[in-house]
Amino acid sequence: METDETPRVLPFQLQFDKPVASQIKIAEWNPEKDLLAMVTEDSKILLHRFNWQRLWTIFPGRCITSLCWRPDGKAIAVGLEDGTISLHDVENGKLLRSLKSHTVAVVSLNWEEDGQVIKDDSVNNSTYEDRTSRFFPPAPRVPRMPGLAPGDTGFMDDSDDSFRELSNSSYQRFNILCSGDKDGSICFSIFGIFPIGKINIHNLSIPTPFATQPATCRLSHASISKVALSKDLCHLIVMCSGELNHDEVESAERQLGMHGCHCLRLDTSIFWKRKNELHQVAQQASNIEDLIEVIRASLSVMSKQWSDAMHTFREKFDSLSSLIIDHGLDSSPQEEFLSLLGGARTSPPVHQFLVNSLGESGVKRVSKVVCGAGKELQHVVLDHLQPAAEIIGFRMGELRGLSRWRTRFQGIGLDETLINNATEKSGILLVQVERFMRVLSSVVQQFLYDQDHVKPFLELSEVDIEPDMETLQRVKELVHFGGFSDCDFLRRTLAEEFKQMESSFKEAFLMPFTTISRKMLCKDVLPLFALPSSSASVSVSVPISVTYYKDASTSVSSYLTHEHGFIDYISFQIPGDSSSNIANCIGISRRFMHSLSNSSIEESASLEAVLLSVPDGYHCVDLSLYKEGQIVLLLNESTSASECSGESCMMIVQADDLPFVSIPRSGCINTWNLDQLKDSVTHLRLENEKVRNIPHSVAAPLAVGASRGVACVFAARKRALVYILDEDEDDVSDGE
């Protein structure tokens, strides 16, 4: 056995051997920095530098089922068991955004940005500038609820710009966060924050493009293992396990379908074709949704502040009205209260009230509480609610202009009628804010506390506000001059108006979501290997890795992805209990995206695959596709008596050196494609010079960082071993 002290010969340098507090179940290297994010068995997220210095630890409070980095490495997406996806800041782990895209556990996350860099301006490569910053100061923050310390509300602090940077996507490359759950649903979010589509693999009509007669099939009892967008965002590869059946098969015969692991190819080219339009809509809509949360929180804070103040007032002064009536006076409680505050002589009932209740100083304290609440409400409106409503109005105006460009934006579902309605609702809200400020000012100045005129505006009141008839008539006359078509807005409260505006926004933004969802279709299916029928309703977990390598050949033609020269590589372990004849092998396929039925496509475009037989006495724990066409394999001894004993090894295989075999595609789905390779299996040998023995039994995951050329392996004894994969990386510092 080789040890770390062996003079040379070792292909990988052991950089660190560090203890970990708990067993790690998920690990991912940052794509841009030397940072490793790890998820423990008890669902804590740890972020470490390359030198193993821990930067932060967070605990979402729910079971973590998946994790991935934003392409620029500035944020991390976390999939939870309840279907929530949370985005966290890389600097401090703070929660930036939370999306409830799914209803069950999110088992796979993939965040991909548009990798296309076009220098020719004549090509469809328009840039988009968000003009809002030209006319408005930075957007307001969510107001903090009185009595809470910073961070207690779950919102970002005013001093933290991470949340604003997440929403300001005008400087980012167009990117898509793709998420898959255990029930087969796949969701898409632009910049990770604006939902733009959702499909379910059970509802897909899957074509068999190589069939002599048009035929389709469907998946049942399927569970997603992996989702991976191509570099140009035009294709989505979905690895799943389930039962594949012909649509034409009668229901009684459906049980004869193929149960196993399948690979689907979905057409997501709408993201590439309409990326500029989608970028603009997502930029405006995501910022509008942020501002809606500001208004919602502002109304909540204002309602609580005013309710607390009026409770204090009524608690002290409710008995004053009955005292005035008992003494037969004509004055009102407001008049008596103003006389008292002004230093005038008190009437007998007020004198009795003061003696029995709170005293003159107590009256002034109550007055200060109520006046202070009124001023606080004014500050919330001026600093948070009103600026948010104004920016929403401007952004809706921008969307309104885009919706009128039908040739470009109608195809992504930006409906002019719905946008016009939402724009009007945002304008009406501004009028309601101004109206509320006038009512609040009059109440605070005149102490009209016996009849609360403020509270109805802050609640979803069932009783309509009745404006005077003259005002209503003038509002109706303004319709002819471009005024609001909804003439009943003066009958509604501020809170009710906000509810209607939010509803109109949801309706307007649902249309692009629905339109894009309908345009994502399944184009191909690749049955890989069979699984025991006993696992039909159980999610099968096998090591899987999907990535895209540059094609080094010079014969790359236009059938390749729009980024020119990228080929998909799909690597997976065939489990030992597989019912096929190729158990305990590793399968690698490539060019699945380009294996089209068009006979004019040259030979290089056909689907190719290779089977690698794991050495005797070993089984594959995990695998990862690495840079420059390399595959990293993590193998454990199968003969060890316990999980913690025994040895393991890490191996790198060069994909270009493997004897890939072209696989003829058949229109019949009752054929496992990899079974065609069982007579040409390539046997892996430990004598390979790219093998490193590890004196521990290891467990998944295998975390490979392509930017630095490192791999982190987790031993069964709660140890983390970091290896340098590239031989030329001898000069590795301990810093970031």
Partners of residue 177 on adjacent β-strands: 111, 189
Higher-pLDDT residue of 472 and 176 is 176
Q: Which range among 35-44, 108-117, 230-239 shows the weakest confidence by mean pLDDT?
A: 108-117
Measured between alpha carbons, how far is residue 544 from residues 238, 261, 702 in Å?
11, 11, 11
pLDDT at 225: 92
pLDDT in tens, 15-50: 889 988 888 999 999 999 889 999 999 999 999 998
Higher-pLDDT residue of 542 and 64 is 64
pLDDT in tens, 417-448: 999 999 999 999 998 898 888 888 776 655 54
pLDDT at 352: 59
Residue 672 makes CB contacts below 8 A (sequence gap 6+) with 258, 260, 527, 528, 529, 530, 580
- Is the pLDDT assigned to residue 412 strictly greater than 90? yes
Give residue 114's pLDDT band: very low, low, confident or very high (50, 70, 90).
confident
pLDDT at 490: 73
pLDDT at 328: 60
pLDDT at 13: 85
> What percent of the chain is modeled with pLDDT above 90?
36
Give residue 252's pLDDT band: very low, low, confident or very high (50, 70, 90).
very low
d(C-alpha 476, C-alpha 485), whole Å = 8
- Is the pLDDT assigned to residue 337 strictly greater than 60? no
pTM over 0.95: no
Higher-pLDDT residue of 370 and 230 is 230
Residue 414 makes CB contacts below 8 A (sequence gap 6+) with 277, 281, 399, 402, 403, 511, 512
Q: Which one of 7-16, 129-138, 283-292, 598-607 scores highest in mean pLDDT?
A: 283-292
Half-sphere exposure of 389 (CA within 13 A, CB side): 27
d(C-alpha 254, C-alpha 239), whole Å = 22
- Is the pLDDT assigned to residue 669 strictly greater than 60? no
Higher-pLDDT residue of 222 and 562 is 222
Mean pLDDT of 701-723: 87
pLDDT at 366: 66
Measured between alpha carbons, how far is residue 543 from residues 261, 561, 615, 644 in Å?
12, 26, 17, 20
Find tokens 């072209």 and name the residue.
662
Residue 323 makes CB contacts below 8 A (sequence gap 6+) with 349, 350, 352, 353
pLDDT at 705: 87
Element (H, E) at 35: strand 35-40
pLDDT at 385: 93
Partners of residue 57 on adjacent β-strands: 46
pLDDT at 646: 80
48: exposed, middle or buried (C-beta count within 10 Å: 0-12, 13-18, 19+)? buried
**DSSP assignment letter at 727:** T
Residue 403 is encoded by which pair of tokens?
């919706």
Give residue 736's pLDDT band: very low, low, confident or very high (50, 70, 90).
very low
Mean pLDDT of 394-399: 95
At position 718, the amino acid (one-letter code) is K
Mean pLDDT of 244-259: 61
pLDDT at 440: 80
CA dihedral 483, 487, 491, 493 (to 10 degrees): -50
d(C-alpha 502, C-alpha 428), whole Å = 12
Residues of 281-290 as b/e, b for ≥16 C-beta within 10 angstroms?
bbbbbbbbbb
d(C-alpha 724, C-alpha 733), whole Å = 12
Residue 131 is encoded by which pair of tokens?
């003009």
d(C-alpha 12, C-alpha 649), whole Å = 11
Give residue 628's pLDDT band: very low, low, confident or very high (50, 70, 90).
confident
Measured between alpha carbons, how far is residue 542 from residues 209, 513, 525 in Å?
28, 32, 19
Residue 38 is encoded by which pair of tokens?
């790890």
CA dihedral 137, 138, 142, 144 (to 10 degrees): -80
pLDDT at 602: 44
Give residue 212's pLDDT band: very low, low, confident or very high (50, 70, 90).
low
pLDDT at 617: 87
Higher-pLDDT residue of 453 and 277 is 277
Half-sphere exposure of 526 (CA within 13 A, CB side): 29
Give residue 728's pLDDT band: very low, low, confident or very high (50, 70, 90).
low
Kindly calculate the radius of gyration of the chain based on its CA atoms and give it in whole angstroms.
Answer: 32
- Give DSSP secondary structure letters for 42-105: T--EEEEETT--EEEEE--SS-EEEEEE-TTSSEEEEEETTS-EEEEETTT--EEEEE---SS-
CB 77 within 8 A of CB 176: no
Measured between alpha carbons, how far is residue 18 from residues 370, 709, 714 in Å?
60, 19, 10
Higher-pLDDT residue of 503 and 727 is 503
> Is the link from the previous residue into 701 a cis peptide, with omega within 30 of 0?
yes
Q: Which range among 87-91, 114-118, 120-124 shows the weakest confidence by mean pLDDT?
A: 120-124
pLDDT at 275: 92
pLDDT in tens, 514-570: 999 999 999 988 888 888 765 544 455 788 999 888 766 544 444 344 444 678 899
Residue 551 is encoded by which pair of tokens?
């094609």
pLDDT in tens, 679-711: 788 888 887 668 888 888 999 899 998 777 889
Identify the sign of the CA torsion 338, 342, 343, 345.
negative
Residue 531 is encoded by which pair of tokens?
């699984």
Measured between alpha carbons, how far is residue 539 from residues 241, 571, 652, 674, 697 in Å?
7, 19, 29, 21, 25
pLDDT at 374: 78
Nearest to 495 by CA among 461, 529, 463, 471: 461
d(C-alpha 707, C-alpha 99), whole Å = 29
pLDDT at 324: 60
Find tokens 């006076």 and name the residue.
329
pLDDT in tens, 120-173: 444 444 456 788 888 999 999 888 776 544 444 434 444 445 555 565 655 678
- Is the pLDDT assigned to residue 327 strictly greater than 90? no
**What's the mean pLDDT when you consider all of the chain?**
78
Nearest to 182 by CA among 221, 217, 229, 218: 221
